[in-house]
Amino acid sequence: MRTIAVIPARYAATRFPAKLMQVLGNKTVIRHTYENAVATGLFDEVMVATDSELIFHEIESNGGNARMSLRPHESGSDRIAEAVADLDVDVIVNVQGDEPFIQHKPLADLLASFRDPETMVASLMQKLESREDIHNPNIVKVVTDLKGFALYFSRAVIPYPREEASGLSYFRHIGVYGFRKHALMDFTRWPSSMLEKTEKLEQLRYLENGIRIRMIETNFTGIGIDTPEDLERARKLI
């Protein structure tokens, strides 16, 4: 099984523009993410797919592998699909560019799920412990069936607790994905779905088109760099 990790890297992030080029320790955020993905040793190739000449030069000038996007893209999945369209690859892993502390185990567990031919798309989830997080619409929740496939993703509280003492567990969706190549290419040909537009969650396009997403539970806790405050937390950690 030939595998590749692709890091979609857009320069003009809405909440924190140029966040991937911010310095963390002695390297930029995007370079930390790229080098940590390479260091896992899990992939036949690791690539940054970007719309920015600055990011492209940052990776290439430090011995890395980057590819410029040929056109604008609405989502990271679309950017990845363009980058891998002409590559001979079985499974693609989408590593978020703003996750500089990505580790070996969650990515290895994600790849292991593709030993099952039933897995077309896989992603990660983590148990939520705080009531504040459960009710936070910026934290995407996921519920699964008994085989571990996602039933639904939402910014709302799912499942809704009719009785507070129900003992249910709640899970955060961590946006690291693995795709079989044909599933990803199909995704880019489908129109945006109604649920996707409503929740602003692109993974719902898979579910609405009948593609199941296998969820892998992980204890990995990184720091996604979404705001200047996140960057300061990451600087303290590093």
Contacts for 99 with CB less than 8 Å, ≥ 6 apart: 33, 176, 222, 223, 224, 225
Mean pLDDT, rounded, of the chain: 91
Q: Which two tokens stand for residue 40?
A: 């896992």
DSSP letters for 165-232:
TS---EEEEEEEEEEEHHHHHHHHHSPPPHHHHHHT-TTHHHHHTT--EEEEE---------SHHHHH
Number of domains in the chain: 1
Q: Tens of pLDDT along 121-170?
A: 999 999 998 999 999 888 899 999 999 999 999 999 999 887 766 678 99
Q: Which domain holds residue 154?
A: 3-237
Q: Cα 224 from chain centroid?
A: 10
pTM of the predicted model as reported, rounded to 2 decimal places: 0.89
**What is the per-residue pLDDT for 68?**
92
Six token digits for residue 157: 């509280």
CATH code of the domain containing 112: 3.90.550.10
Distance CA 183, CA 97 (A): 22
167 contacts 149 by C-beta, under 8 angstroms:
no
Indicate the pLDDT class of residue 119, thresholds 50, 70 and 90.
very high
**Section 33-50 average pLDDT:** 96
Please report, for residues 45, 97, 102, 132, the alpha-carbon distance to residue 40 in angstroms, rounded to integers and kept in the order given.
Answer: 11, 15, 9, 33
Q: How far apart are CA 106 and CA 88, in angstroms?
A: 24
Q: What is the pLDDT of residues 59-68, one digit of tens each?
A: 999 999 999 9
What confidence category does residue 220 fall into, taking pLDDT thresholds of 50, 70 and 90?
Answer: confident
What's the rounded mean pLDDT across residues 47-53? Answer: 94
Tokens of 27: 């390297």
